[in-house]
Chains A and B, each alone.
Chain A
Amino acid sequence: MNFPQRTAAAVGAAGLALSLAACGGGQQAADDGGLSGTIAVDGSSTVAPLTSAAATQFADVEPGVQVTVATSGTGGGFKAFCAGETDISDASRPIKDEEIAACEEAGTEYTEIIIANDGLSVVVNPENDWAQCLTVEQLGTIWAPEAEGKVMSWKDVDPSFPDEPLDLYGAGTDSGTFDYFTEAINGEEGATRADYTPTEDDNVTVQGVQGSPGALGYFGLSYAEENPDAVKILDIDGGDGCVTPSSETVQDGTYTPLGRPLFIYVNNASYADNEALQTFVDFYLENEASIAEEALFIGLTEEQATTARTELDSLKG
């Protein structure tokens, strides 16, 4: 019978396609005398777009260097960083005491470099015409752990607000955004009510807030500014009157307490050994303004840039 031959041909063709597929990825090494090497970055999903933008711009200069930017969250990133698995850790808050201890125990020495600014914006549905500005106390009323099951309507926040049910969106617990917001608003890191929709994906928050008239959420200012029609950004009164979040108010420190600096942590030993890493970190800081602009963040102030350069100099030692 002739059919096994035909079958064999068909299966052979399928096999060939697969083996071709397996051979498809040729290496794109830079043979032009430029740098080569690998740089492993992990950490905050907030900072990842910034470092990705840095990697994109860096590739124009040094195409031979392989930069990978993973997003395990600030806390998850520090775990891998202290264990020596990554060269740079993206962080949307300064390193915590227990993380410092973990790094010391593992013998990992590092340097903190301030790299950009970010504002957390509090947003509501565009149809919300009652709230223009919330005080930090009012946000505390909404987000406090005690509010769970009790503060369920806007009327519970301020008697002048309508009886519209509150629908809350926020950051997931592994993110630096979560740590930052809970500390700034509830006074204690991690303290929050639990009956809200947590997500690491800010687009979920945008869609949630867009779809519910009583919704309230918080996330990075860049997301809110990119979605101006979907959500309404609230002014925040940190004690000195209502302040609209913007690049200026975040940079000059008047948008408190929800403006925050972003950091990268660099492994000292890797920096000393890895020429690609040195060049990348130097490039990152040198071009922080254009990188921040491209990734929709707020650049460093003069003062912060000086601090960052001092930090980098200490790394060069």
Chain B
Amino acid sequence: MSLYTPAASGADARRAVLSTSGRSKEQTPQSVLFIVLLWLSLLIGFVTLAVLLVDTFADGLSRLDGRLFTGYPSSRAEEAGARPAILGSLWVVGTTAVLAVPLGVAAAVHLEEFADRKRWWNRLVEINISNLSAVPAIIYGMLALGALALIGVQQKNIVIGGAIALAMLILPVIIISTREAVRAVPRELRDGSLAIGATPLQTTWRITLPAALPGIATGTILGLSRALGEAAPLLLLGGLVFLRFDPNGMLSQFTTMPIQIFSWTAQPQAEFHTLAAGASMLLMALVLLMNGAAIYIRNRYQKRW
């Protein structure tokens, strides 16, 4: 969540810490010990992460080649690649975006700009959205499984099924970040628009939403990068399959990168574990790229009033 806070808050916080330590003139042994402990905590987390990354990278480097991108899963490790998984991930995350972004943004704008907060049902919806963002991913998988079973879909490992589960998973993230972005648009902009005769709808569409776009984009990309790395809801929908074809539509069977990695680590041959490490690096690079894009858009376009 820290990524949502404005960029300046890091510097602010540092200044705040400096001024605080400036005020307390005595450096008691306790306070020094506390600082050391804090640094140690940071170090442990950081070193663990670094070791894991370097280890995975060293394992997977030999298979971080063209075949990883172009090859199909195979029982021969040297020929196997993640092409259907990469395309499957793109299909599912793309469909998730199509489902979740308009719905999430519309819901947030309604709650922030139009809903009457005095009404108890609006407050109930707000509380529930906050709670939903803490629901474990697998629950959304069960929900999507139940929904597909209710409408009588036999084959549950289909692009649209996975996208529904992931869209529900990231909707709360998109709604909450969009609401924060909309709330940050100053009252005066809206008042000015209304004062020159624009309707509330025109004001929202032409003034508030464009001003809030960087925040919305940031939240959306972070939500989608979470969807990209998620495996649990898809596993529940029967996503752990061996297939050697590209997904080609909403009703196509698919596999995604996290599931492909999971399936390769379960193979007995060590060469598949190397392949899994290579695919992990690729997935990590994709997620980092998306998060980086989110941070860039936020820093580049965020307007402070």
Which residues of the partner chain B approach A25 to less than 8 Å between Cβ atoms? Answer: 87-88, 90-91, 246-248, 252
Instruction: Report if B241 contacts A (CB, 8 A).
Output: yes
> 0/1 per residue, B222-255, Cβ < 8 Å to A?
0010000000000000101111111110001100
Report which of B75, B95, B247, B268 forms a contact with A227, defined as CB distance below 8 A: B268
Nearest chain A CB to B57 CB, angstrom units: 21
Assuming the contacts A10-B301, A203-B265, asked whether A56 and B246 have C-beta atoms less than 8 A apart, the reply is: no
Which residues of the partner chain B approach A222 to less than 8 Å between Cβ atoms? Answer: 268
Instruction: Report if A151 contacts B (CB, 8 A).
Output: no
Instruction: Report if B72 contacts A (CB, 8 A).
Output: yes
> 0/1 per residue, B207-231, Cβ < 8 Å to A?
0001101101100110010000000
Considering the chains assembled together, what is the distance between the CA atoms of A273 and B84 in angstroms? 28
Considering the chains assembled together, what is the distance between the CA atoms of A70 and B237 in angstroms? 11
Assuming the contacts A21-B93, A52-B242, asked whether A294 and B76 have C-beta atoms less than 8 A apart, the reply is: yes
Contact call A295/B243, Cβ cutoff below 8 A:
no
Contact call B75/A203, Cβ cutoff below 8 A:
no
Instruction: Report if B267 contacts A (CB, 8 A).
Output: yes
Considering the chains assembled together, what is the distance between the CA atoms of A48 and B87 in angstroms? 23
Assuming the contacts A49-B267, A59-B72, A67-B244, asked whether A3 and B90 have C-beta atoms less than 8 A apart, the reply is: no
Contact call B97/A18, Cβ cutoff below 8 A:
yes
Chain B interface residue count: which class?
35 or more
> 0/1 per residue, A190-219, Cβ < 8 Å to B?
000000000001110000000000000000
Considering the chains assembled together, what is the distance between the CA atoms of A298 and B91 in angstroms? 39
Chain A interface residue count: which class?
35 or more
Instruction: Report if A11 contacts B (CB, 8 A).
Output: yes
Q: Which residue of B lies closest to A222 (CB)?
A: B268
Number of A-B contacts (CB under 8 A): 120
Considering the chains assembled together, what is the distance between the CA atoms of A203 and B273 in angstroms? 11
Instruction: Report if B177 contacts A (CB, 8 A).
Output: no
Contact call A10/B217, Cβ cutoff below 8 A:
yes
Considering the chains assembled together, what is the distance between the CA atoms of A67 and B221 in angstroms? 34
Assuming the contacts A22-B95, A56-B75, asked whether A68 and B243 have C-beta atoms less than 8 A apart, the reply is: yes
Instruction: Report if B122 contacts A (CB, 8 A).
Output: no
Which residues of the partner chain B approach A67 to less than 8 Å between Cβ atoms? Answer: 242-244
Which residues of the partner chain A approach B74 to less than 8 Å between Cβ atoms? Answer: 56
Contact call B248/A27, Cβ cutoff below 8 A:
yes
Q: Which residue of B lies closest to A50 (CB)?
A: B75
Contact call A21/B268, Cβ cutoff below 8 A:
no
Contact call B244/A55, Cβ cutoff below 8 A:
yes
Contact call A49/B213, Cβ cutoff below 8 A:
no
Instruction: Report if A236 contacts B (CB, 8 A).
Output: no
Contact call B238/A70, Cβ cutoff below 8 A:
yes
Contact call A3/B301, Cβ cutoff below 8 A:
yes
Name the residue in A3, A8, A227 with the highest tally of chain B Cβ atoms < 10 Å from its Cβ: A3
Which residues of the partner chain B approach A7 to less than 8 Å between Cβ atoms? Answer: 210, 213-214, 217, 301
Instruction: Report if B297 contacts A (CB, 8 A).
Output: yes
Q: Which residue of A lies closest to B273 (CB)?
A: A203
Report which of A3, A14, A56, A69 forms a contact with B217, defined as CB distance below 8 A: A14
Considering the chains assembled together, what is the distance between the CA atoms of A114 and B242 in angstroms? 21
Nearest chain A CB to B287 CB, angstrom units: 14
Contact call B248/A21, Cβ cutoff below 8 A:
no
Q: Which residue of B lies closest to A1 (CB)?
A: B303
Instruction: Report if B98 contacts A (CB, 8 A).
Output: yes
Contact call B94/A19, Cβ cutoff below 8 A:
yes
Contact call A66/B245, Cβ cutoff below 8 A:
yes
Considering the chains assembled together, what is the distance between the CA atoms of A72 and B239 in angstroms? 10
Instruction: Report if A6 contacts B (CB, 8 A).
Output: yes
Instruction: Report if A296 contacts B (CB, 8 A).
Output: yes
Instruction: Report if A226 contacts B (CB, 8 A).
Output: yes
Report which of A6, A55, A227, A295 forms a contact with B301, defined as CB distance below 8 A: A6
Instruction: Report if A28 contacts B (CB, 8 A).
Output: yes
Instruction: Report if B269 contacts A (CB, 8 A).
Output: yes
Which residues of the partner chain A approach B155 to less than 8 Å between Cβ atoms? Answer: 40, 85
Contact call B94/A22, Cβ cutoff below 8 A:
yes
Q: Which residue of A lies closest to B94 (CB)?
A: A22
Considering the chains assembled together, what is the distance between the CA atoms of A209 and B270 in angstroms? 17
Assuming the contacts A14-B297, A18-B94, A22-B94, asked whether A28 and B240 have C-beta atoms less than 8 A apart, the reply is: no
> 0/1 per residue, B280-305, Cβ < 8 Å to A?
00000000000001000100110100
Contact call B75/A52, Cβ cutoff below 8 A:
yes
Which residues of the partner chain A approach B248 to less than 8 Å between Cβ atoms? Answer: 25-27
Considering the chains assembled together, what is the distance between the CA atoms of A184 and B168 in angstroms? 46
Nearest chain B CB to A198 CB, angstrom units: 15
- Residue numbers of B with Cβ under 8 A of A are 72-76, 87-88, 90-91, 93-95, 97-98, 154-155, 157, 210-211, 213-214, 216-217, 220-221, 224, 238, 240-248, 252-253, 265-270, 293, 297, 300-301, 303
Of the A-B pairs whose beta carbons lie under 8 Å apart in the complex, a sample of 30, sorted by A's number, is A4-B211, A7-B210, A7-B301, A8-B210, A10-B214, A11-B216, A14-B293, A14-B297, A19-B94, A21-B93, A24-B87, A24-B91, A25-B91, A25-B252, A28-B246, A55-B244, A56-B76, A66-B244, A66-B253, A67-B242, A67-B243, A67-B244, A70-B240, A70-B242, A71-B241, A85-B154, A203-B265, A223-B268, A295-B75, A296-B269
